[in-house]
Every structure is written in structure tokens, then in C-alpha cells.
Chain A
């Protein structure tokens, strides 16, 4: 279930059906190729994974036997073809996603149940997963340029994944992880969850520190044709969900960022690719109220018979990060000479740090790399 969710983090977009079975583009010449960036062998793949070593240990706990799995040096590649932002297909997918979220949140349609794959490694119930020195690549096959975003040096531990309450020993599931996004962004994640509650109950923090915007723009640039800007961005996310009631906040902090004004939102590409429409979070930002506010409260309702814990958690994180990115850049000083003192068309420089102006709002996420 955890790995289902872990992969749901990237692969579980609710707006996209799984790639069609390996039909070569030439065989479907009447319809546009949805995966121009996919190599032939990748056309029917959502994921490829290989690892250097796997260690399985069984632990007898009374009458039950639990297993821990340690993956050493895994390389996981996740493929996803999002429709181009603003296209009819994209709009239809978003509409469907919103419709799905009116009453109940449906689980992502692309979630890969790797727990079934783990069953091939061990038939035992896995209650502990470690990843050492992992790499995860997010590959957008929806574009011919097939941009890739890498998470390097992934260190991850998930504990207490038992499916029986008495084995949990009164402690929650605990996920801790660190890694490096692209070449610069230090990622830290801390999540606790109580899978036995009737409604979704989890709490956590995640942060990306020092992500160079040029790294990010390498991912979105092929579509936007923007020149890579200078500067870094930090994003802090904190969330707390009790029985399906989600509250939290996102805080993007831009440092020395220079961007060139663009007609289109460059992050629409990222949003289209990464946002999980199966999990809806809302921002209560009012456009005119806080022009440069960097604390974005998030809230939502994660209820419904089908909703699963880990896909929901990672859906929340995905969407919060995407919202942090888009909001952070959207609230740079506007390209208006009267306001910024810089002629339109010239570069805009962001404030050196975030400006929290959220009076009376939830406590902003801490600016600490580790929770």
C-alpha cells in the first residue's frame, strides 16, 4: 500500500489514463501521438525499476510474521505523458478531475500497485521498507524533448506498516526521507500516519531547500522557451489531516530570482504534468489581498469510500509543491514600471526572502531543512 502511494506520488495523476498498449505511433496515424517522447520499449510502461541489491528479513512477532525489505541503489524511472497545458485534452481532464472531486476523492487512476511486485520478492506482509541511495527519474513522455527531473541520493525509511493494529504497538506509521532534487534541491520529508483511523489521519512536513530555478527550468523550458533564470527557491509544506479534514500551509521562498516576464505561466507545464487531480487542495489566497504573501494556507476534504491513505498523502504533497512553485513565481513583483521601477520587459528580481503576511492564518511551515 505504501509503495502504491509512493508511486502514486508521481505516477498517480488522476487526469490521465495509463498509456495505451504498445501500439506504434505509425499504427495510429489518424490520432496524434500522445507520447512523442516515449521510446518504443517505454510505450506500455508507467515505471521501470532496477536495483543493485535487495535484502529481505522476516521478523516473528507473536503469531505474526512481518518482513522488512531493503532496496539498495534502486533506479526507478516513472513515465508520464500529460496533455499540453491549455489543450482541449488538458481542459477535459481537469474538468473530469473537478467532477470527480465534487463529493468524493477518487483514487488516482495511474497508481501502480508495487506491493504486488513486492509479493514476488517475499510473500510475507511487508511492514518496513528502506531505500538506500535510490534514484527516481520523472520523465515526461508527452513531449518530444522528453524532459527529465531526477531525484538523487534518495534515502527513505517507512516503518510500522503493519496491517494489524496490535502490531503497531501504539505508534504511528513513520516515513522519513531525504534526497536531492535535480542537482541542487535538498529534499526532506517527515510523515506520520494512523492507518487504522476511520477517516484519513496523517501529519507531516516536507521541504525542498535551495532548488536552483535553472534546474527547474530545464524541465519546463522545452515547452516555454524561456531562458533559464538565476536564483533559488525553497518550498516548505506542512499538513495535518484528521479524519479527512486537511489543513496546512505552503511557503515558497524565492531568493535572488530573476525572471523574464512571460505571456504564459511557465509553470502551467509543471502543473499539467505533476498536479494530482484526484486530490483536491484549496488555497484561500485572494489575489488582491496579499500581493507578495508567501504563506499559502491549504485545506481540503479527503473523504470517500475509495480514497487510500498513501496516494492521498503524496497527492497532497505533490499539489502543495506545485502550488508553492506556481504561487511563488506568480507573486513576484509585477512587470509594471510604475510599481517595480524597472521598464517592462526587463528582468524582475524577487525579494531576497519570503514575506509572511498571513496574519491570523495557520502557522507557516518552518524554514528548517529538517522537520
Chain B
């Protein structure tokens, strides 16, 4: 939570100071101060890294993906559990194949966009802090 708050505050502060505008951004993203090196800004914004897709997502991110897959007839309703299970991976593979994407069965940014979802509604981002806090970490070795 602290990490997220720190990132959100840093984003807000940087945005308030006149951040550059990203074409996909609904709100001003984390900007790069011309006086700060990238690594310093990165440390302030604390971009999440995680060892699992779930660790990279907001709570409910998997469910949103599953609902889209269900709407496309690729996933049964009872499999929309919010857990990233084998059925979901199979459905993602089928979707990726139909879309000409690498069929990994894993939720890449492009796959999520092709599903019609905004990245900021699924993936954690310091540029788009969501209402929900991130689930704790995700990096678990």
C-alpha cells in the first residue's frame, strides 16, 4: 500500500508540475523531470515488477479479462472465477490465435487491448493509479 501511495503521490506531483501527455492517457502520466535522471524518477514512481500476471494486475483484473473472453464465447461463465486457471489460458490462446497475436495464453498488454480493455483497468501503473490498491506485491521468491 505504501508503495502504491508513494507512486500515486509522485505521479500527482509530477503531473501537477506539467508532465508530458501520453496519447493513451486519460490523466497525465508520470512525467519525466528534465532535471532528474530516469532511474531517480523510476525509483520515485516505483513501477511494479512481478513474477506473475496476477502480481501485475489490479484486483479484479483477471475477472475483467475472463468476462471479455466469456462475452466472445471463448470461456464458460462458471470459469469466470477471477482465478487465472487452465481454462482461461486456453481461452486466451484461442483469442490470441484469432487476433494474430503470439499464442502464449498469457495476458500481454496487446492482448488486453485487443479484448477491448483499457490497460489501466487491468494492469498496475504508476501513471494511472486506480481506486483499488494493488494486491500485495506479486514477487514471491
* Residues of A participating in the B interface, judged by any CB pair closer than 8 Å: 60-62, 128, 130-132, 155-157, 159-160, 164-172, 174, 176-178, 188, 190, 192-194, 196-198, 201-205, 238-240, 247-249, 362-363, 365, 369-371
Question: A60–B22 Cα gap in the complex (Å)?
Answer: 10
B128 touches A238 (CB 8 A): no
Complex CA gap A249/B101 in Å reads 31
Which chain A positions have C-beta within 8 A of B139?
Answer: 203, 240
Q: Contact at A157–B29, with CB atoms within 8 Å? A: no
B22–A62 contact, CB under 8 A?
Answer: yes
Collect the chain A residues with CB atoms within 8 Å of residue B52's CB.
190, 205, 371
Which residue of B is nearest A128, CB measured? B110
Q: How far is the CA of A48 from the CA of B7 in the complex (A)?
A: 44
Q: Does B133 contact A (CB under 8 A)?
A: no
Closest to A365 in B: B141
Known: A159-B108, A169-B119, A188-B106. 15 other contacts (CB 8 A): A60-B23, A155-B102, A159-B110, A165-B30, A171-B109, A171-B119, A178-B102, A196-B42, A198-B39, A202-B49, A204-B51, A238-B140, A240-B51, A369-B86, A371-B51
Q: List 27 A-B contacts (CB under 8 A).
A: A62-B23, A132-B102, A155-B104, A157-B108, A159-B110, A160-B109, A166-B29, A169-B22, A171-B48, A171-B125, A172-B49, A177-B104, A190-B51, A190-B106, A193-B49, A194-B42, A196-B39, A198-B43, A201-B49, A203-B49, A203-B51, A239-B141, A240-B141, A249-B141, A369-B86, A370-B84, A371-B106
CA separation between A5 and B40, bound complex, in Å? Answer: 24
Q: Are B101 and A157 in contact (CB under 8 A)?
A: yes
Residue among B7, B11, B50, B119 making CB contact with A203, cutoff 8 Å: B50
Shortest beta-carbon distance from A153 to chain B in Å: 9
Flag if B38 contacts A156 (CB, 8 Å).
no
Q: State how many angstroms separate the Cβ of A313 from the closest Cβ of chain B.
A: 11
| Interface SS majority for chain B | loop
Q: A176-B106, A365-B141 in contact; A170/B11 too (CB < 8 A)?
A: yes
* Bound CA span A238–B126, Å: 25
B123: interface (CB < 8 Å): yes
- Contacts A62-B22, A205-B52 hold; do A169 and B29 have CB atoms under 8 A apart? yes
Choice from A164, A169, A247 contacting B141 with Cβ under 8 Å: A247
Q: Tell me the B residues contacting A by CB distance below 8 Å.
A: 7, 11, 19-25, 29-32, 38-43, 45, 47-53, 55-56, 84, 86, 89, 100-110, 119, 123-128, 138-141
Q: Compute how far the CA of A204 lies from the CA of B138 in the bound complex, rounded to whole angstroms.
A: 10
B47 near A171: Cβ-Cβ < 8 Å: yes
Query: In whole Å, how far is B126's beta carbon from the nearest beta carbon of chain A?
Result: 4
Given contacts A61-B23, A370-B105, contact A174 B125 (CB under 8 A): no
- Residues in chain B near residue A248, CB distance under 8 A: 141
Residues of B within 8 A of A240 (CB): 49, 51, 139-141
Given contacts A196-B41, A196-B42, A363-B140, contact A168 B47 (CB under 8 A): yes
CA distance A190 to B84 in the complex (A): 14
Which listed residue, B38, B56, B101, B108, touches A196 by the CB 8 Å rule?
Answer: B38
In the complex the two chains form, is A194's CB within 8 Å of B101's CB?
A: no
Nearest CB of chain A from residue B100's CB, rounded to whole Å = 8
Most buried by B among A164, A171, A238, A239: A171
Residues of A within 8 A of B30 (CB): 165-166, 170
Residues of A near B101 (CB, < 8 A) are: 130, 157
Chain A residues whose C-beta falls within 8 Å of the C-beta of B21 in the assembled complex: 62
CA A204 – CA B89 in complex, angstroms? 18
> When the two chains form their complex, are residues B50 and A192 in contact, meaning their CB atoms are under 8 A apart?
yes
